[in-house]
Chain A
Amino acid sequence: MTNAYRDSKGRPLVAVTGLGVVTSLGQGKEDNWAALKTGRSGIRPITRFPTDGLRTTIAGTVEFLGIEPYSASALSAAMAIAAATEAIEQARIASSTFPGPLYLATPPAEIEWPQRRALYDASSTSTETGYKRLLAAARGSEWRELHAISQFASVAECVARRLGTRGLPVSVSTACASGATAIQLGVEAIRRGDTTAALCIGTDSSVQIEALIRFSLLSALSTRNDAPAEASRPFSKERDGFVMAEGAGALVLESYQAAIARGANVLGIVLGCGEKADDYHRTRSKPDGTAIIGAIRNAVADAGVDPGDIDYVNAHGTSTPENDKMEYMSLRAVLGDHLTTTPASSNKSMIGHTLSASGAIEAVFSLLTIQNGVLPPTINYVTPDPEIPIDAVANSARPAEVRTVLSNSFGFGGQNVCLVLGAPL
């Protein structure tokens, strides 16, 4: 083994050889990149369920995969499989089975309202009420299909079965950092030598009544319903919350040595991953930013680069007042004056916040940024927040040579994960 296949710390280098994506902008890298480059928004009024009277009535839903009737689990699985299939085809690594494990970021599972209603109605002759009645219905007939989609393992089971990944399919949640965690799990497994390939996916399909209302009750969502495409406005002064959205991102990771050995086309390198947990509050970051700063520092250190080497930041940039301010402060703390000349844009201005999927989708877009030499813009950036003096790549894409990207993901519950992604060697 020569050093060409190892990083500065002596660990196996981790190559990206396949990318796939589904968002409200469309299916596949080509459509998504074309939309991102022209600053198009995928945010629209919700039509999946009635929204009369709700404070927020917009989202970035994925309606074009033909999942009827909608269930979060079925749509999550369909998007994950679509994105992963695209990534695997690009990597040319597998035919019927994928030669490595699955790391899947997916939202928690639950029985949804239509199914809960169906259970309740199935026992209409019952004199029982409430959960006793639901349990009697569950006992009384077969609900195998419902069971198969409402387990926490359901989405991973479906993906593993379809794509033939090896071993235990791993489902992970670090809230809005989940997609980045899935990538980190793959990187670590390859560095350990446990596998030479890993399939890392983030998927989320949470636009259903209850989830929308829950986030709304936390005052986390934009209420700019009149102009959906203009609702997500990261780093702007008048930003008022995030926009819920759906999608999936998939990456085929391989040990660089194995990728070169089989003549694969290397699209990029995962140079480093960093995490840090916050112990301050359930939905807010520590005011001094130490946890976010720690995650960025750890990623940069793990990658063995200097903060000054970062050419572009693919920001978490949710468009909530709190996140964008904290993210700027933390970037400033780590990158220092280098931030003044470092562009930092938020894909969420166009695709909304894809929650569990965002870390993976935005890693895909970060690698497309490197590949195409074009920075996707932050759209709706009309009135800059004076407290966030940042080059947000305002409103229009911009050509730039990018070799190293920092991609940030910060979750409720204080789970922060950052990735450093690099150009092919």
Chain B
Amino acid sequence: MSNATRRNDVWITGIGLVSSLGANADEHVARLFSGGPAVRPALDESRYAPYPIHPLAPLDFSSQIPKKSDQRQMELWQRIGVHAAGLALSDAGIAGNADLLDRTHLVVAAGSGERDTKVDCEVLDKLGPRDDAALLAKEVLPSALRPTLFLAQLSNMLAGNISIVHNVTGSSRTFMGEEMAGLAAMENAFRRIQAAQADVILVGGALNAEREDLLLGYEIGHNLWRGPFRQVWERRGDGGGFIPGSVGAFIVLESSAHARARCAKAYAKISAIETDRTSREPGETVLHALTQLLSRIWSDIPDGPLLTFSGASGTEPATSEELLFLSRLASLDHETAIRAFGSAVGHGVEAHFPMGIALAALALKHGTALAPTEPSEIERPFSAAIERVLVTGVGHWRGEGLALIEAIQ
């Protein structure tokens, strides 16, 4: 879509990852990109039954959020994000560099923070069968709500806390809209650097899957997978659904000139990000949308092996429609392979697309695809040298996107 005259290369120079599989990017590499067998996902199937979730791996928040007073101002969602953001800044060699932090822009994909579910329950209990809004206003809420928790709930406060804890102060923007938040955030950061509107941007998101208020928000749309764990593609026959995973995924994007000038290492480059929203009605399917997006990236798919990291959530019919798109790619005269990374880490909603791009960058750096996550026809072995990874982002309700991540020659 862009016809800007200046186009800078956009490099990934820092990655901060936490999920059920590990507390940093290295632990993810060890589990996913070391040529070993398929990873066994970490799951908790009982705490929120019938909903399985992928719980956060044990990690020490103090290493990235040293002040207890800061930690107290946040609930888990914000802590996960602030922690992952700090890891990305350290990895990029930006942490502690006051001058550079002052010029680093921040772009966050966010939902909202935890409600005080205990208070919600007390209120519902007190109200009982009475439809009494006056009681709610007068007696219950003023004494039950905590001011600090309000700030922990606000969508833009993940970004606010990243600025406060890590001193990232160039600018700060928070995008919302479930998976579309992640698509918009990544696209915004990418295009600004490409068009020389920014040199360096910290971008990403977080999800705390271990919360009932979050599950409720998705279950009113019957979007969650119920029952024992199944891999993403294996849920199609039974109505589909996603399994939330606690994740924090932040990436430092940088213009190649800026990265070179400060001798920063780079994992890979982002060659394209394209997004859209279709109405998901007949004639406006996910298949149609992804096909259109791909044609904006390539008029002809270049020669060489093509690996796709699918961000399919597992909800239907979006996942089946995406699979149709991926099958058509696979039928081309290329060595291709598909990996639904949600089968390994769960669905990260706002953070899912940033997570996919981060995993693609790690795969390119380490030269290996992850082992097939399920024993089906869909995810075939892949042993070719990886030059590029296509990342898909298909929202469980709305939003479609593609990112092309390539090795830096």
A residues adjacent to B (C-beta < 8 A)? 49-54, 106, 108-111, 113, 116-117, 119-121, 124, 129-132, 134-135, 138-139, 142-144, 146-147, 150-153, 156-157, 160-161, 167-175, 178, 181, 185, 188-189, 191-195, 209-210, 213-218, 275-283, 291, 294, 411-415
Q: Is the interface of B mostly helix, strand, loop or mixed?
A: mixed
Interface residue ranges of B150-195 to A (CB < 8 Å)? 150-151, 153-157, 159-161, 163-164, 167-178, 180-181, 183-184, 187-188, 191-192, 195
B59 at the A interface (CB under 8 A): no
B124 at the A interface (CB under 8 A): yes
8 pairs of residues in contact across A and B, judged by CB atoms under 8 Å: A52-B134, A53-B138, A135-B219, A194-B191, A277-B172, A281-B164, A283-B151, A415-B174
Give chain A residues whose Cβ lies under 8 Å from the Cβ of B91: none
Contact A54 B174 (CB under 8 A): no
B37 at the A interface (CB under 8 A): no
Interface residue ranges of B117-139 to A (CB < 8 Å)? 117, 120-121, 124-125, 127, 129, 131, 133-134, 136-139
Contact A193 B177 (CB under 8 A): no
For the complex of A and B, 8 pairs with smallest distance between CB atoms: A413-B160, A130-B121, A147-B221, A153-B177, A50-B134, A131-B212, A275-B171, A277-B172
Q: A146-B220, A147-B220, A278-B163 are known; give 14 further A-B pairs, CB within 8 A.
A: A54-B138, A109-B176, A151-B221, A153-B177, A167-B1, A171-B180, A173-B174, A194-B191, A213-B141, A213-B142, A214-B150, A277-B172, A294-B169, A413-B156
Contact B220 A152 (CB under 8 A): no
Q: How far is the CA of A106 from the CA of B73 in the complex (A)?
A: 24
- Smallest Cβ distance from A198 to chain B, in angstroms? 13
Most buried by A among B4, B163, B173, B217: B173
Contact B137 A138 (CB under 8 A): no
Q: Given A214-B150, A283-B151, is A209 in contact with B164 using a C-beta cutoff of 8 Å?
A: no
User: When each residue 42-54 of chain B gets 1 if its CB lies under 8 Å from chain A and 0 otherwise, what string results?
Assistant: 0000000011000
- Smallest Cβ distance from A35 to chain B, in angstroms? 29
Give chain A residues whose Cβ lies under 8 Å from the Cβ of B153: 108
Q: Is the interface of A mostly helix, strand, loop or mixed?
A: mixed
- Smallest Cβ distance from A118 to chain B, in angstroms? 10
Of the residues A134, A168, A275, A415, contact of B216 by C-beta under 8 Å = A134
| Stretch in contact with the other chain, from B231-239, B255-263, B271-279 | B271-279
Contact B136 A131 (CB under 8 A): no
Contact B176 A106 (CB under 8 A): yes
Q: How far is the CA of A52 from the CA of B134 in the complex (A)?
A: 7
Contact A412 B172 (CB under 8 A): no
- Smallest Cβ distance from B282 to chain A, in angstroms? 16
B2 at the A interface (CB under 8 A): yes
**Shortest Cβ distance from A110 into B: residue:** B112
Q: Given A168-B277, A188-B192, is A209 in contact with B2 using a C-beta cutoff of 8 Å?
A: no
Give chain B residues whose Cβ lies under 8 Å from the Cβ of A138: 216, 219-220, 222
Contact A279 B171 (CB under 8 A): no
Q: How far is the CA of A281 from the CA of B73 in the complex (A)?
A: 11
Give chain A residues whose Cβ lies under 8 Å from the Cβ of B177: 151-153, 156, 169-171
Q: Given A116-B120, A131-B212, is A414 in contact with B150 using a C-beta cutoff of 8 Å?
A: no
**Shortest Cβ distance from A274 into B: residue:** B171
Contact B164 A280 (CB under 8 A): yes
Give chain A residues whose Cβ lies under 8 Å from the Cβ of B115: 110
**Shortest Cβ distance from B138 into A: residue:** A53
B215 at the A interface (CB under 8 A): yes
Q: Given A213-B141, A214-B145, is A172 in contact with B124 using a C-beta cutoff of 8 Å?
A: no
Give chain B residues whose Cβ lies under 8 Å from the Cβ of A411: 156
Most buried by B among A52, A53, A120: A120
B106 at the A interface (CB under 8 A): yes
